[in-house]
Amino acid sequence: MSGSPPAALLEQHQRLAPALAGLREAEPWPHFFDLRLSEWEIVLRLAGPAMRPGRWLDVGSGNSASTLLLSAEGYWTVGLDLPARDLATHTYGAELHAAVWKGVGRRVPVVWGTATDLPFRGETFDGVFSSYAIQYLADIDRGLREIFRVLKPGGTAVLVVPSAGQRVGAFSSMWREIAREGLSRVLCRRARPPRPAPADGSPPVTGGGLWSQLRRRFPDFPLPNPDSAHRSYLRELLDSRLAAWRRRARRAGFAVELAGTTSVTLRAVTEWVVSPWRAHRALRRLQILVQSGPLRRLVTHLGESHLLVLAKGAA
């Protein structure tokens, strides 16, 4: 696939970025928009040539930010998501959509529904976009078949999903939480206020021995809980490989035009850690090394996102 992203999408990204960057109160977690805006830059650069104007569907639109990005001139875009907030499926709910609409000063159409039973006729859309949503479906294969169904012949699906490398990070995150809890018990044995509930929606570690508490909170302990509909962390890790996503796409009937792993961490490290200390010569050298040196290939190989561009053949 060659060519440049449509100018309308690039212009929309430039207009949208400042408005979203100021919406800290509407972020589901800190630096959400920073990460997503960086992700979209990568998506536009790699998949943009296939994202031709027409009718687009944003599956798992979250807070409508990606739907707003796709609502550029020449693109008629509708989002699809569940209306109620649900931490188990990472659904943000209708209230967060409204907060983003208010922040950017415009609305986009959103239909409430599920990706495994899309409420649209077959061959309705020229393109389907989905970012970090498909992996939460109880039946991923059915969700992909639904996307294939609503695409017109010759249509394109652009999917961004977490990679196995991204899921490895959950292992270190879990053990950091365990170490923090253990240290707090050692340093503060007297009664103390209850800890706030974890951001992932799992119950806080309280009551009983530490081992039994960890087993209740992390059924797969010493491995973390799966972050999607998978039954175990190991199964999720295997199913997050790029080869596994290719197989799913082909089973649904798609031709895989592009499949690769990208790393938004490059931008995150630069903007959140290095940039505030740019005057420090050693950190500046690290920034250059990560962005353009041999570390870039390593970090990209271990990147956290798979990007897939899938095509539905002409009738």
Question: What domains can you pick out in the chain, each with its CATH number?
Answer: 7-163+241-264+303-311 (3.40.50.150), 166-217 (no CATH)
Tokens of 108: 């986009």
Q: Tell me 123's DSSP state.
A: T
pLDDT at position 148 = 98
Tokens of 275: 């940039």
pLDDT at position 315 = 62
Give φ, ψ of 309 to 5 degrees: -110, 115
pLDDT at position 103 = 80
pLDDT at position 209 = 63
* H helices, E strands: number in the chain: 12, 7
Residues 6+ apart with CB under 8 A from 82: 89, 91, 93, 112, 113, 114
Whether the bond between 222 and the residue before it is cis, its omega within 30 degrees of 0, is yes
pLDDT of the chain, 315 residues: tens digit per residue: 556 778 888 888 888 888 887 777 777 667 777 777 877 887 888 888 899 999 999 998 888 888 888 988 889 999 998 877 776 666 676 677 777 888 888 888 989 889 999 999 999 999 999 998 898 888 999 999 999 999 999 999 999 988 877 777 666 667 777 776 666 665 565 445 555 655 555 555 555 566 676 667 666 677 777 776 777 878 888 888 889 999 999 999 999 998 877 765 444 444 444 444 444 455 445 444 444 445 444 444 445 688 899 999 876
pLDDT at position 125 = 97
